[in-house]
Structure 1
């Protein structure tokens, strides 16, 4: 007879699963109850308070530049030297038929034309949009005012037409993948590279006839690339698994590529139209595609002390700091003032901080191309000036530089460039009739306090600037001072040929405000005749007495004024003939 024996259940049998299920049900019930209870935002107040500062950028903004930004400034000087008259220009929308490059190409064209007109005043852009879809408040108001004869638009002489011709994506692609597998370790490596080609076509047309001018075209293309690398590692230790992934990627943006193409196309079109040697501006060292990256490598290599030494030497060589100045601390008021003024003159964001943009602008004059096509430093190394002409001392090939020497303690001379902006026959003496308006521009090579005077044949002399409308005498370097300012609707004065004879305009520039050191009659209000002074030579003598011959520079222009030509008399009407009978 068999007797069945019931064994007691131990804790390791069915009891543990039942208790685990009970705990799981309890956790689920608590989770459901928590989800049905609203969250209290007051508990996150300390976290949300950080949103005000977290939402702010952590990198200073910088000016958008391309490889041809220096070429645009070069073109500005070239157009001024060629005395190209001011021309009204406009542009069509630059259409992207591929829909892969969503950039504001038309506004980039406006920026390029503006940068080529800072000194030369070569172009004024007529902003009028006729596309109803793209009209904004300004354009709608313009249309209303035009329809009611309350506004007049000047007809442009030229217009820019163009389009993003093509975008060929992934023209070249390279992939590499590899991996290993073992009982306890798995690895994987991948690398991908690709290149895309963007093409831009631009033309210049005659607005009066709406015809594109033959030969004034530009067709360029540029490559933007992307690449990535990745590493995967996975392993097992006993019954546990571990894995991690690392990678790095880069992608060249379409925005920077389009700005480069548009700057290049604008230089080509304007250079061909103005018939100036624009190719000289396209062969600058700064157009090298690796210029910015190489400067960044040198910036990181120099370190804080090297950067401060190099930039301060450059500021001394360019006249922003006094010669013999010791190495200043970065928070020194004198250094911050010099950096701010240099940034303003270099069209950078004025911060007074020595950042990469300032370093690049300060040292770009001391870089040239080596015989092998690479970039080399001229007279400086990672820690400061070297005193030699080039870092590559074994190379005897002469280098092309801007004429500045990094170790120079003598700043470049202060110069005033003045010219008459009216359209004049080439090679002819400037001559106007009585009543004709005259436009003059003055540009100073270094930031200076400038004072301009007008003298007529009758012995009257008056100060044009400063005046009641523009009381400040400080003028930034390489910025055109317009006399009068024909770009504002209500200029402080209008300068016209008043009396037959020779009329003159002269400008005096000094490093500091010298007006309080001049005789009392010269300290009076502007735009009124100065008592006791009859010629520009009298003003020059007053500056010599108050400032000294070495404390200022002078430049002047003149023109001949002729009496207005008599209008031909209208022919008298013929007497009526007697009627024949």
Structure 2
């Protein structure tokens, strides 16, 4: 008899506890707390920055250093759409169907040396009919591309931990149980971008970006139960974390635009990204360009590069004492581990070129105005060499 009273007493206490948690008053209290939290932290407008948005700004300041005196590059895009057809309402509209505006925003983040040229012919025609007059800027390059992959559940992992205990017999039988379940599923989104020369309408060889981002779908489930000889109660907690696909695509766009224009300008754009790795396309392009220069142009480029290190050498295209002293100083301070090198070879010049100091502080970045459109779009090494020989 005593056992039965204890059993029903414990069960009543548990039910009362659960019922108390589910009262209307408590529910309203929790709802108000959640609303206040969202109003304080979540509903205020914030800058929409991807992890690579700041890298695009750094890249713009890198161009101020590497491309000082070079013409502005004018860019335009064709429509960058979804090629997987998963943006269709019939497929659930799982991803955006048009990301052209994201690409435009990424290009415009770079700065004054890479200028985006909008293409809105209907608007211009309408304004022209009202008497407006426009100047026309022709782009140097077009960006083409599409969202090319969306693979659901390319990888997944799950784990379930369960435990149970049972004691007593007959009316005094008690069972305790619980389990913890965790599931993680990855999906993948891919974006392809290519660069097209506007004047020739040909793709620029090897200047493309093809990147993939993984999106995590994580769920958790916790269960517990307590039973007294057939009468039982329990609770269940569930949680789910799903990374936003639109936000993941913006990250993908910012990274891909950085890579595309970094390759097009032959600059070490990977230095703008934490733990970035050298791009073999840029390294090979610069190696071929440097090896194709005459000794005089090589010396001119070396002197121009030394000036970017803060050395006050004159661009004479001659291996004078001033140039020799500046080289010895820079290599001793920064590249002493390389030992003796010949800067007239690419192996000796490569660390000097790719290691130019970068000042990411906007206030201290070189304030050199870009050259208006009209100059030639020469490779980085050739342009610097020609400037040195002027």
| TM-score, with structure 2 as normaliser | 0.53
Which residue, out of 130, 145, 156, partners 1:173? 156
Who is 1:155 aligned against? Answer: 138
Instruction: Verify: 1:75 aligned to 2:59, yes or no.
Output: yes
For the Cα contact (< 8 Å) 1:103–1:255, is it kept in 2? no
- Structure 1 position 124, deviation (Å): 2.3
The whole-number CA distance in structure 1 between the counterparts of 2:47 and 2:150 is: 27
Which residue, out of 414, 417, 422, partners 2:371? 422
- Structure 1 position 241, deviation (Å): 3.8
How far does the alpha carbon of each residue in 1:459-482 deviate from its partner, in whole angstroms, 9 at most, with x for none?
Answer: xxxxxxxxxxxxxxxxxxxxxxxx
For the Cα contact (< 8 Å) 2:79–2:98, is it kept in 1? no
Pick 1 or 2: higher relative contact order, CA cutoff 8 A, min separation 6.
2
Q: After superposition, where does 1:1-16 map in structure 2 within 5 Å? A: none
The whole-number CA distance in structure 1 between the counterparts of 2:359 and 2:256 is: 29
Who is 2:47 aligned against? Answer: 63
Who is 1:144 aligned against? Answer: 126
For the Cα contact (< 8 Å) 1:73–1:116, is it kept in 2? yes
- In structure 2, relative to structure 1, the CA distance for the partners of 1:54 and 1:190 (3 Å cut) is closer
- Structure 1 position 226, deviation (Å): 1.9
What RMSD over aligned residues (CA atoms) do the two structures have, in Å?
3.8
Which residue, out of 205, 212, 217, partners 2:208? 217
For the Cα contact (< 8 Å) 2:50–2:250, is it kept in 1? yes
- Structure 1 position 221, deviation (Å): 1.0
- In structure 2, relative to structure 1, the CA distance for the partners of 1:112 and 1:416 (3 Å cut) is closer
- In structure 2, relative to structure 1, the CA distance for the partners of 1:428 and 1:192 (3 Å cut) is closer
Who is 1:116 aligned against? Answer: 110
Who is 2:71 aligned against? Answer: 85
- In structure 2, relative to structure 1, the CA distance for the partners of 1:197 and 1:420 (3 Å cut) is closer
Who is 1:351 aligned against? Answer: none
Q: Secondary structure at the match of 2:40?
A: coil
Q: Write 1 or 2 for the structure with the bigger share of helix.
A: 2
For the Cα contact (< 8 Å) 2:359–2:365, is it kept in 1? no
Instruction: Verify: 1:281 aligned to 2:272, yes or no.
Output: yes
**Unmatched segments (≥5 aa) in structure 1:** 1-46, 131-139, 288-400, 405-411, 432-581
Q: After superposition, where does 1:85-484 map in structure 2 within 5 Å? A: 85-96=71-82, 97=84, 98-99=86-87, 100-102=94-96, 105-117=99-111, 121-129=112-120, 140-146=122-128, 150-152=132-134, 153-177=136-160, 179=162, 184-237=175-228, 241-282=232-273, 284-285=274-275, 417-422=366-371
Q: Secondary structure at the match of 1:88?
A: strand
Q: Secondary structure at the match of 1:169?
A: strand
For the Cα contact (< 8 Å) 2:154–2:186, is it kept in 1? yes
The whole-number CA distance in structure 1 between the counterparts of 2:107 and 2:213 is: 21
For the Cα contact (< 8 Å) 1:70–1:286, is it kept in 2? no
**Unmatched segments (≥5 aa) in structure 2:** 1-28, 88-93, 167-173, 278-356, 376-382
> Which structure would you say has the larger Rg?
1
| TM-score, with structure 1 as normaliser | 0.37
- Structure 1 position 266, deviation (Å): 0.9
Q: Secondary structure at the match of 1:58?
A: helix
- In structure 2, relative to structure 1, the CA distance for the partners of 1:104 and 1:56 (3 Å cut) is farther
Q: Secondary structure at the match of 1:258?
A: helix
Q: Secondary structure at the match of 1:231?
A: strand
- In structure 2, relative to structure 1, the CA distance for the partners of 1:207 and 1:187 (3 Å cut) is same
The whole-number CA distance in structure 1 between the counterparts of 2:114 and 2:227 is: 70
